[in-house]
């Protein structure tokens, strides 16, 4: 009896225990099936809040109010049209020396009256010298760059000095050496102030390596302040080519671009390129970087128009354009907007695009483009102020005012 009772109790325990495990197994199968269905119904890809959402922006033809006037240029001389300060255009007359040019006369043109006066206060340093650029300031003093050709060529080493001349007294602001005329100091006018951007291979004519230096000065009749100074190393590689160390900072473009949102310039090194902004005498770098293969990054009101060369190709026209905002958000453009030359104004950009002069504007959700049919062909620009630009074409100067 006891044996039978013990056996039936064991059998009852085994049955109850089996039912318990069967129920647990059914629960697990049901839960797994629910999870599988959630994934199937939800699709193969889940989007998290941190994943960037692709954005597009169009380039649309728009009407822009503008005004054009013109005047003829003197074709009998070799003239170089430089900077505009307080409505005075600086003009340098050049003489061809076969491998380089020397300056012979300097002039100022009043853009309102078109009256031209010769500037005699500035003299080049020697017979093989050149005044690269100059500005007459409001107090009748002068800011200019004096160039000395040590190699008697526009494309070999030359020395320069940036000088402030006042009442016959010369003060050298900065000096250095470059290996072609396109690396010489650039003046950028910002109302009463002038930015001076400088690069230099220091001691380059005596050594096979040395210091490479960039500077940015802000100058007016009352102050002269160096707001950027960076030094790295250079060395001479194959075929006497000057190369910079990867960490050495350089100007991607020595022009300072000014609109109603600030003053900007692009620097780079061996790893990246960066947009810099000048605010109240201080330099801030944006939080995002630009591509190494950058063609241009143009401030367009509150955004930046970027064009870069595609990687892994040798095709010169393999380009892509897009727009970045202050936060680095990228807006893809279906149109490649490479500008051959351009001028940044307060509310937009005047540029040379596919044989046409165009006006570009930031319309928040799209880019507006206006083609200026009067201005086609070979041209270049000089900024007058925040709303107007000089356009030089075939012996004629056009004053384009964007309203």
Per-residue model confidence (pLDDT) at position 54: 55
Per-residue model confidence (pLDDT) at position 313: 75
**pLDDT exceeds cutoff 90 at 29:** no
Q: What is the mean pLDDT of the chain?
A: 86
- The pLDDT tens digits for 222-246 are 899 999 999 999 988 776 678 899 9
- 19 pLDDT band (50/70/90 cuts)? very low
**pLDDT exceeds cutoff 60 at 37:** no
Per-residue model confidence (pLDDT) at position 369: 98
What integer is the mean pLDDT of 131-154? 95
- The pLDDT tens digits for 350-367 are 999 999 999 999 999 999
Top mean pLDDT of 30-39, 50-59, 377-386 is at 377-386
When mean pLDDT is compared across 36-45, 88-97, 135-144, 243-252, the lowest value belongs to: 36-45
Residue 269 · residue 251 · CB < 8 Å:
no
DSSP for 169-196 reads EEEEEEEEEESSGGGS-EEEEETTEEEE
**pLDDT exceeds cutoff 80 at 90:** yes
- The pLDDT tens digits for 172-202 are 999 999 989 999 999 999 999 999 999 999 9
Per-residue model confidence (pLDDT) at position 9: 44
Per-residue model confidence (pLDDT) at position 42: 46
Cα dihedral 64, 69, 73, 79 in deg (nearest 10): -40
What integer is the mean pLDDT of 36-51? 44
- 124 pLDDT band (50/70/90 cuts)? confident
* 3-state SS string for 106-161: EEEEECCCCCEEEECCCCCCCCCEEEEEEEECCCCCEEEEEEEECCCCCCCCEEEE
Per-residue model confidence (pLDDT) at position 274: 94
Q: For residues 115 and 124, which has the higher predicted lDDT (pLDDT)?
A: 115
**pLDDT exceeds cutoff 80 at 111:** yes
**pLDDT exceeds cutoff 60 at 322:** yes
Q: Give the pairing of strands 56-61 and 366-376.
A: parallel
**pLDDT exceeds cutoff 80 at 93:** yes
When mean pLDDT is compared across 15-19, 86-90, 240-244, 304-308, the lowest value belongs to: 15-19
Q: For residues 273 and 282, which has the higher predicted lDDT (pLDDT)?
A: 273
What is the model's pTM? Answer: 0.84
């Amino acid at each position: 009896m006891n044996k039978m009772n013990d056996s039936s109790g064991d059998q009852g325990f085994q049955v109850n225990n089996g039912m318990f495990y069967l129920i647990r197994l059914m629960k697990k199968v049901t839960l797994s099936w629910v999870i599988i269905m959630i994934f199937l119904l939800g699709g193969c890809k889940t989007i998290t809040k941190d994943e960037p959402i692709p954005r597009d922006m169009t380039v649309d033809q728009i009407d822009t109010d503008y005004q054009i006037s013109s005047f003829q240029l003197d074709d009998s001389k070799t003239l170089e049209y430089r900077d505009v300060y307080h409505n005075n255009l600086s003009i340098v007359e050049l003489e061809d020396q076969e491998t380089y040019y020397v300056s012979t006369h300097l002039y100022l043109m009043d853009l309102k009256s078109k009256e031209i006066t010769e500037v005699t206060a500035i003299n080049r340093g020697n017979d093989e010298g050149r005044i690269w650029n100059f500005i007459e300031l409001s107090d009748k003093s002068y800011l200019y760059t004096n160039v000395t050709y040590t190699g008697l060529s526009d494309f070999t080493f030359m020395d320069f000095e940036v000088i402030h001349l006042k009442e016959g007294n010369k003060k050298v602001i900065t000096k250095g050496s470059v290996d072609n005329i396109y690396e010489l100091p650039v003046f950028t006018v910002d109302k009463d102030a002038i930015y001076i951007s400088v690069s230099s291979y220091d001691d380059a004519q005596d050594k096979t390596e040395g210091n490479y230096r960039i500077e940015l000065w802000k100058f007016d009749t009352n102050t002269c302040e160096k707001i950027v100074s960076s030094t790295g190393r250079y060395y001479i590689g194959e075929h006497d080519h000057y190369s910079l160390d990867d960490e050495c900072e350089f100007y991607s473009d020595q022009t300072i671009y000014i609109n109603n949102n600030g003053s900007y310039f692009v620097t780079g090194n061996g790893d990246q390129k960066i947009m810099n902004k000048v605010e109240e005498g201080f330099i801030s770098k944006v939080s995002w970087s630009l591509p190494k293969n950058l063609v241009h990054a143009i401030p367009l009101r509150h955004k930046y128009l970027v064009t870069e060369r595609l990687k892994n190709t040798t095709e010169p026209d393999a380009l892509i354009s897009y727009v970045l905002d202050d936060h680095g958000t990228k807006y893809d453009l279906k149109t490649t907007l490479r500008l051959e030359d351009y001028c940044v104004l307060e509310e937009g950009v005047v540029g040379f695009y596919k044989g046409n002069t165009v006006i570009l504007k930031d319309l928040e959700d799209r880019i507006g483009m206006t083609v200026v049919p009067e201005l086609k062909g070979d041209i270049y620009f000089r900024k007058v102020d925040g709303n107007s630009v000089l356009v030089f074409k075939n012996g004629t100067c056009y004053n384009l005012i964007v309203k």
